[in-house]
Structure 1
Amino acid sequence: MMSKQYSLGIDLGTSNSAMTVARLEDQALQDLSILQVVAPHTVEARPGLASNIYIAAPDEFPEGAFNLPGKELSHAHVVGAFARQHGAQVPDRLVSSAKSWLCSTQVDHHEPILPWQSSSVEAKLSPIEASRLYLESLVYGFKAAAEAAQSDWDLENTNVVLTVPASFDEVARSLTYEAAEAAGLGAVTLMEEPQAAFYAWLAQAGSDWRKQVAPGDIILVCDVGGGTSDFSLICVSEVEGNLELERISVGEHLLLGGDNLDLALAHVLRYQMEGEGKTIDDWQFLALVHACRSAKESLFENLDLTEVSLSVPSRGSSLFAGSVATSLSRDTLNQIALDGFLPLIDASEMPAARASAGLQEFGLSYESDPVLSKHLARFLTRSLQNVQANASLAGQFSAEVLAGSFLKPTAVLFNGGFFNAAPARERVLALLNQWSGADAPVRELAGARYDKAVAHGAAYYGLNQLSGSGVRVKAGASRSYYIGLETAGLAIPGFKPPLKALCVVPQGMEEGSEQILDSKEFGLVTGESVTFRFFSSAIRSGDAVGTILPDAEKELEETLELKMELTPLEGHATGEVVPVKLHARVTEMGTLDLWMQHTRSDHRWKLEFAVRTD
């Protein structure tokens, strides 16, 4: 097997994707421009890839209009810059936010459902197919960049690290891995985006990172992307004179990000335009949302601009027939982004519960409360509960840190295009300082690259994997995982005993490690169809392997249900319960192998699902 000399970091973003390649020999990081279609019969290398697919109508463009050098493409599916630009004018043919659909529990991820609610497209794409097309475009861009640079890098000698939101559940993580394999990337390492951002900061700071942090620091990684918001906490401790880093908390899955801001801005501009006597129908409103995204990004990226003009087309025979124009001002953007999403609230204010309407529009499960400040308050409150649940972890902190109702960060690392805007960063710092009331203000870690950090950090981490050296953030499983355990005992009419939960992976269990539960025997049903239910928790860091909780559904979150039939033992009846002991292993790829060893023979059975490690 060819030894790997390069590391490729891939940020598969909800709105934009990027790649960074690094060379083991000199540890140099290089951003890759991605060759893509920017107009019919026109290709260019751009710094990133818009995470959009335009599904062209029959005969809309001539055959071959979107071919890339050395690669013929179906004219029906265009990925990247042209897809976003043209699709903003024909929004019901534009696939966007495919990444968010991977974590929806309400759809079949292999069914063609995108563009969502489109009546114009007959041959739609599934979320996993859309993800595969994005990744295939990135693979092509990687190969084209290698050829242009006359480099010897290729996928055979490259370690690939692909990032996912820290809040991605096991299903979404496995689907991302599946899409990567289908795109030709082979076996990839999946890495959490906030951790990747932190590794990028470490790479940029070099040996000086130790001068910017100190033992006792609690660093909040605040990552607001296009479709999700991710929070993680990393603590700094001193062991035998050396600084060590450990991730101690990961937030819940939040479908709240730049997409929500785009929608809010579109509503404001719609009211503004209607106040001027202009009419915007539902189809034009979709185009307005995409136009607001482009205008927002322009204002965030160019601080000299005070406003950006935009136009919304109609369905006339000419593309811009009957188009209406308006503009997005910086004042409007700041007002909606800050006062709407990041107001200065009290730390005790939690997100509002979802409305209990019996009938709702079916779609992505966006957060019912869009106030990011409240979700941050909830994350810090739950983080304190998680630390207090583990005596050894709590022992790393002073009584002052553990006092109060939430865990108080001492520093913040920002990530995501949302934080290109200085007012957004300043507002988060003001919010944290208002909550903590500490003498020393919460500080921002200097040197972050808000839009390129994830790809940079993934490539840097990949180098560390290849060299076996470098700074490492101790992480492991971000949650504790449990398997449902049926209660033993006499049946009682009219009463169904609660399902118990057995901890098989404690929070922080490292990849490549294993746990054997020798102290207990369990009964395994073989030879007939059975269901295994898996649960998890982000706030029970103190549970060890073998801990049994009395009521799984009440105390935990259900993450996965596996239905299968296990091969019966020879000489045993179908449906017979056989005694087993459990052996859990978290592999280097981030999957859990749960072996069930028959205690009377060498026979064993295996269950497998993905857990989130770096």
Structure 2
Amino acid sequence: MGRRRERFRAARRAPVVKLGVIVIQPKYVVGVDLGTTHCVLAYAPVPRNQWDEPQIRIFPVPQLTAPGEVASQPLLPSFLFLPGPHDVPEGGLALPWNKGIDYAVGDFARKRGAEIPNRLVSSAKSWLCHSGVDRLKPILPWDSPAEARRVSPLEATACYLRHLRDAWNYTHAKEDDSARLEIQEIFLTVPASFDAVARELTVKAAEAAGLERLTLLEEPQAAFYAWIESQGDRWRKNVSVGDCVLVCDLGGGTTDFSLIRVEEEHGEMVLRRVAVGDHILLGGDNMDLTLAYALQAKLGERGVRLDGWQFRGLWHACRTAKERLLTDPNRETEPIVVLGRGSSLIGGTLRTELTREEATRILLEGFFPLCGPDDFPQSRPKVGVREMGLPYESDPAVTRHLARFLSRQGSGEKPGEACPTGVLFNGGVMKPEIVRERVVTLLSRWRGGEPLRRLESPDLDLAVARGAAAYGLARHGHGVRIRAGAPRSFYIGIESAMPTVPGVPTPIKALCVVPFGMEEGTREVIREKEFGLVVGEDAVFPLLASGSRKEDRPGDVVEDWSGEIDEVVSMETHLPISSEDAGGTVIPVWLESAFTEVGTLEIWCVSREDERRWKLEFNLRESES
């Protein structure tokens, strides 16, 4: 008996697509960076033999830049504008492939939405992983008037992917159906810290956009693949066996930490992802908001008060000002304009400015303070009643979150994991040199003054998409692959078999079903433990996860996890009754788990007595109490 591991091939990874009787081979590997702030698409021809040397290219995405004006840009801003009847001239939203579209995605959406913030959907990716709301309901733009148009986080995400699909097909597949994006090998990136539900929702958003042949890839890994691709054969000379590289990825919505260790097997250098950080909702959005509060205070000194609508406009304006100031060394100030309210918009326009010195001081002191290796995020008492919204981190200090992440890696068999020897930066927040230098200085201090190797990314905006395409090429044998697998250990909550005690809840044990690092495309059959499954009614199973318990194996039961394991969501299934079963019948079952090649989690209850199987489905509408 015991547990059994076997290899399987997920249906979505079929190597060809059949249209009727015609078999179509994919022509391209496509990497898609589905970012909080912007989306990028990179691609390369599928190599046909070992001598091919495919070149990765960035797809300039056609998009609205002004009413009736379309231009191609490498970045598609992740903003969705849902205009009212008089917000855009008639026909102003038309695209070459869709003349009747009634919303805008991309550059124009960001610019016009900053002027009318209650019609702008932003940070959809952050909402997609927020378990405190129903991510399938139309709730965005958040705080918009009741009569305003709204979409769900899933639908907003699908809109970005649908735009990429249509723009690609308009450009590449007008006369060649085999070049349609739906047919290509797509590698879609997600934060390494995304939980199983957020990954599942990302796949559903892609499917809603018609993109079903895809694989998920962690963004820090994609950034590392981009670095390898930029180095060519030189990458092996820039790292050594025993090195541990920290990938520090700060984007618009999240802070993502991963560790990749360089090892040697059979005389060959190999890469292994050995640690993934918590999901930290902390990024460029928080920084833009902080700058907005600082400017609000400056306006207040002039006796100017902003209402909620104007403040949201100021927040979006600060995003653009920050990007210009911190990336252009010749720019010292950036004007900020906030539209007024009422009949005299021109007369009511508010003007101020943000300086480079202000932006640098606020961001470094507030988000990258110098701290010790044991200086962890500070918790604050929570107010009993609060507004619903994104659950941003209470402590904005990225460096303290980094200290906690590294401290958790020092208790295993390889204590060197806690002390990276190199660092690779990714994400728009890390573009300013002064920010990167602050992190390098701090890490060097934590290493006792030893120098830290910096792996230079070729382009922080494009790296993730390029890396995803490079990963696709590596799957065809053109490049090295990082060994990774499941980013966390996953568990099912099991109720203890003990007498009920008044006033004492029945203890819940955690049964490990997916270990940390479980390879994609494998499944585990757990037979050490047998469970009774009640048929004829819905069944609910708590899904738990841990990023720190890396030694638990499938079938292990954890009775006291004390902060090491957290509940993710409940899983549900409706258990049909067979002709031989009466309602309430208990069926003896084993559990079976799979970490699919797509990058999602599956858990099944398998009858011990016959061929029946019940898949546990995520409760995607569950919210926190």
TM-score, normalised relative to structure 1: 0.92
Aligned to 1:12: 34
Residue 383 of structure 1 aligns to a residue whose secondary structure is coil
Residues 7 and 278 of structure 1, relative CA distance in 2, 3 Å threshold? same
Aligned to 2:612: 603
Residues 186 and 34 of structure 1, relative CA distance in 2, 3 Å threshold? same
Kept in 2: contact 1:582–1:594 (CA 8 A):
yes
Deviations 1:287-327 (A, max 9, x none): 11111100111123322212212211102435533212222
Q: Quick one: which of 470, 478, 487 aligns to 1:460? A: 470
Aligned to 2:557: 548
Aligned to 1:571: 580
Kept in 1: contact 2:199–2:599 (CA 8 A):
no
Kept in 1: contact 2:321–2:336 (CA 8 A):
yes
Kept in 1: contact 2:426–2:457 (CA 8 A):
no
Deviations 1:443-463 (A, max 9, x none): 210244211111111111122
Are residue 281 (structure 1) and residue 307 (structure 2) matched? yes
Are residue 249 (structure 1) and residue 258 (structure 2) matched? no
Counterparts of residues 274-353 of structure 1 (less than 5 Å): 274-317=300-343, 319-353=345-379
Aligned to 1:48: 75
Residue 273 of structure 1 aligns to a residue whose secondary structure is helix
Aligned letter for 1:52? Answer: F
How much does 1:554 deviate?
5.8
How much does 1:277 deviate?
4.1
Are residue 490 (structure 1) and residue 517 (structure 2) matched? no
Structure 1 CA distance for aligned equivalents of residues 177 and 210 of structure 2: 20
How much does 1:227 deviate?
0.9
Are residue 122 (structure 1) and residue 148 (structure 2) matched? yes
In structure 1, the gaps of 5 or more residues are 389-393
Moved more, 482-491 or 157-166: 482-491
Aligned to 1:420: 431
Structure 2 CA distance for aligned equivalents of residues 280 and 529 of structure 1: 50
How much does 1:149 deviate?
12
How much does 1:483 deviate?
0.8
Report the aligned-residue RMSD.
Answer: 2.1
Between the two proteins, what is the percent identity of the paired residues?
A: 45
Counterparts of residues 497-536 of structure 1 (less than 5 Å): 497-536=506-545
Residues 175 and 597 of structure 1, relative CA distance in 2, 3 Å threshold? closer
In structure 2, the gaps of 5 or more residues are 1-22, 48-52, 620-625
Kept in 1: contact 2:424–2:457 (CA 8 A):
no
Counterparts of residues 352-363 of structure 1 (less than 5 Å): 352-363=378-389
Structure 2 CA distance for aligned equivalents of residues 452 and 352 of structure 1: 33
Aligned letter for 1:9? Answer: G
Structure 2 CA distance for aligned equivalents of residues 59 and 311 of structure 1: 22
Kept in 1: contact 2:141–2:151 (CA 8 A):
yes
How much does 1:537 deviate?
0.4
Counterparts of residues 332-411 of structure 1 (less than 5 Å): 332-385=358-411, 388=412, 394=413, 397=414, 401=416, 407-411=418-422
Aligned to 2:198: 172
How much does 1:240 deviate?
1.9
Residues 489 and 206 of structure 1, relative CA distance in 2, 3 Å threshold? same
Counterparts of residues 63-74 of structure 1 (less than 5 Å): 63-74=90-101
How much does 1:148 deviate?
9.0
Structure 1 CA distance for aligned equivalents of residues 473 and 27 of structure 2: 9
Structure 2 CA distance for aligned equivalents of residues 304 and 124 of structure 1: 40
Q: Quick one: which of 109, 129, 138 aligns to 1:112? A: 138
Residues 604 and 120 of structure 1, relative CA distance in 2, 3 Å threshold? closer
Are residue 203 (structure 1) and residue 225 (structure 2) matched? no
Residues 152 and 590 of structure 1, relative CA distance in 2, 3 Å threshold? closer
How much does 1:355 deviate?
2.3
Are residue 444 (structure 1) and residue 470 (structure 2) matched? no
Kept in 2: contact 1:536–1:559 (CA 8 A):
yes
How much does 1:419 deviate?
1.4
Higher relative contact order (CA 8 A, sep 6+): 2
Residue 492 of structure 2 aligns to a residue whose secondary structure is strand
Kept in 1: contact 2:470–2:479 (CA 8 A):
no
Structure 2 CA distance for aligned equivalents of residues 195 and 319 of structure 1: 48
Size of the aligned set, in residue pairs, is 592
Structure 1 CA distance for aligned equivalents of residues 234 and 147 of structure 2: 53
Aligned to 1:391: none
TM-score, normalised relative to structure 2: 0.90
Aligned letter for 2:377? Answer: P
Structure 1 CA distance for aligned equivalents of residues 600 and 561 of structure 2: 22
Structure 1 CA distance for aligned equivalents of residues 245 and 175 of structure 2: 38
Structure 1 CA distance for aligned equivalents of residues 356 and 439 of structure 2: 19
Residues 551 and 370 of structure 1, relative CA distance in 2, 3 Å threshold? same
